[in-house]
Structure 1
């Protein structure tokens, strides 16, 4: 009998970080095809920052347990799951539910973490890593010798994007505040200060013929400028609406407008392409294909970490019970890397 207790963080509504609640309960039991994961590391992503404001476009109704991804050890397996999975360290992408000591997931949704990769290291690369990999290689299909623009290059997704691109022989221009520029130059990134510089003008100086791809999480006006900076044959990959995080009104409307722009641009007679990237795209219609792709791509990301091609950027590690502090830190814009929670 499992004598451990469940500890989880509940988001009760639109609250300040201090309004998050700690709830205790019984550890879930694995049903057919399921596993119970004892969580070793979860993290604070931009999605949770939007969710606490009610601004994430498809978040569940309040109250719920946030937590987009996690890494942990399989504690128990249900019927139909190979017993060899018990005791294995795995990663899982869950969208919600990760801020807990124990999480119940389908075994098919887990990805094994290689030996020698720590839980916190792996956690920084689950949603961030697979997002970066898929946008770079499945959407933009970058090639050596190309030039790309990465907005928020010092952020969770942006930093992985930049490293993966450099490994592929791609020149990276990235927007970031000035305090991060020296570190970015050391990693081979050409930095642009989005606070003090005219980003579009500066990028045109650096790439007079346009860039081959832009990765834009900002949305709003930024995505229009991003489209105009593309070279013939270039690709815009939009993957968020960060500029609307603190807005009021419908959380779906910014995404709907973005999708409308993407559709219109692709309908125009030009050689450029635009995508709105969603890591969950295709799961509802082709679950097995989605799982296979996630497993393949995250395995590639973990392999890149093992080979030293990318780094696990941990901004801070805090206990799950200090989640309010962790969320405040992640939202401050002062840290580089991911804030990791250790249940």
Structure 2
């Protein structure tokens, strides 16, 4: 995801949502190895973990992450990894510098038995969220700033580009 979708290079800035979670800490560890300048959203209690893994923590409960990113960087980040989705995607876009991209992941978690569920006990509606994502991706193409949103799904990549999983691509 960091290289195929985000196309990251050493020194670039990234924002990782839910940085103290399982996926977030993996991003932080890989980002440190890749030489990235990292920022991570999380609770105040998780700030120590985020900081220890090489990122600047941002307390999403007590500050606006978009304003905080612009305060810390001046012009935003190159990539945002957003596994939250929904309306948060548009806010993530606002944290980008010109030419940046939001990498959206985690939509496979909304599948049940390999098919889109009609609803879930959590109150999330996968079809609605997929439609929102599609709208955001399309809408990005017509807005200034050359910012983009890129969905990332391992099952879809395996179907569309199986060679990537047999060798490096």
TM-score normalised to structure 2 length: 0.83
Tell me the equivalent position of 2:139: 264
Quote the residue 1:291 is aligned against.
165
Structure 2 partner of 1:198: 64
Q: Could you tell me which residue of structure 2 aligns to residue 184 of structure 1?
A: 50
Once the two structures are TM-superposed, the CA of residue 270 in structure 1 deviates from its matched residue by: 3.7
Tell me what 2:34 maps to: 168
The whole-number CA distance in structure 2 between the counterparts of 1:245 and 1:192 is 30
Q: 1:280 aligns with which of 150, 155, 160?
A: 155
Contact 2:41 2:59 in 1 (8 A): yes
User: 1:228-265: per-residue Cα shift (whole Å, max 9, x none)?
Assistant: 111112111011369x97216x4321112112211221
Whether the 8 Å CA contact 1:174–1:190 is kept in 2: the answer is yes
| Within-5 A mapping of 1:241-252 | 246-247=122-123, 250-252=125-127
Contact 1:259/1:276 (<8 A) preserved: no
Higher-helix-fraction structure: 2
**C-alpha spacing 1:252/1:151, structure 2 compared with 1 (3 Å):** same
Give 4+ residue runs of structure 1 displaced > 6 Å after superposition: none
Report if aligned partners of 2:100, 2:146 keep a CA contact under 8 Å in 1: yes
Shift of 1:290: 4.6
| Contact 1:266–1:274 under 8 Å retained in 2 | no
Judging changes above 3 Å, is the alpha-carbon distance between structure 1 residues 245 and 266 closer, same or farther for their aligned structure 2 residues? farther
CA contact (8 A) 2:20 2:49 kept: no
Q: Does 1:211 align with 2:85?
A: no
Render the CA deviation track for 1:173-227: whole Å, top value 9, x for unaligned. Answer: 0001111112221221100111122221111111111111101111122110111
Cα RMSD, aligned residues only: 2.3
Q: SS at the partner of 1:180?
A: helix
Instruction: Work out which of the two has the higher radius of gyration on C-alpha atoms and give 1 or 2.
Output: 1
Is the partner of 1:184 in helix, strand or coil? helix
List runs of 5+ in structure 2 lacking aligned partners.
Answer: 110-119
Q: Which residue number corresponds to residue 8 of structure 2?
A: 142
3-state SS of 1:136 partner: coil
SS of the residue corresponding to residue 63 of structure 2 reads: coil
Structure 1 CA distance, aligned partners of 2:159 and 2:11?
A: 36
TM-score normalised by length of structure 1: 0.43
